[in-house]
Amino acid sequence: MAAPRPPQPHGTKLAEMKKAVVIGGRKVAGKQEDVHQLRLLDNRYVQYRFLNARGAEAARAKAAAAENSLFGLAERIAGLRESVADKRAEAEKIKRDQRLCSIVGGQLPYLDRWSDVEEDYSSCLTGATSALHNASLRLPIIGGVRANYEEISEVLSSAAQLLEPASPLVRNLLPKVEEVDGVASKLAQIITSERDLIEECGNLLNQAHHMQMREYSLRSQLLQLRS
């Protein structure tokens, strides 16, 4: 006797079961595709982060190089400014020396003339003094002898005539001498004030140099903190 068959589903139920199996297979295949796409997106995200990190590192390196270049440029500019200030001070000193030479050079001819006139004046004064002295020695002072008024007047007149040529020269040169004296006094005052200004300028340059060194130190500390 043959074995009995298991119960067979009806035609409708069999079709539904086949349909469920097909749908389940499609769902599994869709999940695998989603996992693959997710892995691709994750790889792209990792690559994007790597590229961003490498770009940021390159940007930081460029920024550091630019800051170092800027620091060196600022140092060179400060050196150029200091050199320009020194050259300017030297040029001002040369101008003052030239002005002083022009002022003194303009007064030297008067001083030379004064030397010549002083010699003539001294010789005339010496001659007049000698003439008066000789005339006084010739005067008798004992024995009741009377002096000759006309001779004394003649001697005094000759002495006055000797002094007359020197008088106009002395009168003409006295204003020049006073002017030279005034110019020399003003020149001494100008030299004193300029010396004070030069010392003050030197102090200001030293302060500026210290301030620049302080600025460089602060910039270097800032670069270290940024790095």
pLDDT of 2: 43
Residues 106, 107, 113, CA angle at the centre, nearest 5°? 120
Mean pLDDT of 72-88: 79
Q: How many beta carbons lie within 10 A of that of residue 124, not counting itself?
A: 19
Mean pLDDT of 59-86: 80
Question: Distance between CA 151 and CA 19 in Å, rounded?
Answer: 173
User: Considering just the CA atoms, what is the radius of gyration of the chain in Å?
Assistant: 57
Domain locations along the chain: 29-140+147-226
The phi-psi region of residue 3 (left if phi > 0; otherwise alpha if psi is between -120 and 50; otherwise beta) is beta
Place 207 in a pLDDT band, splitting at 50, 70 and 90: confident
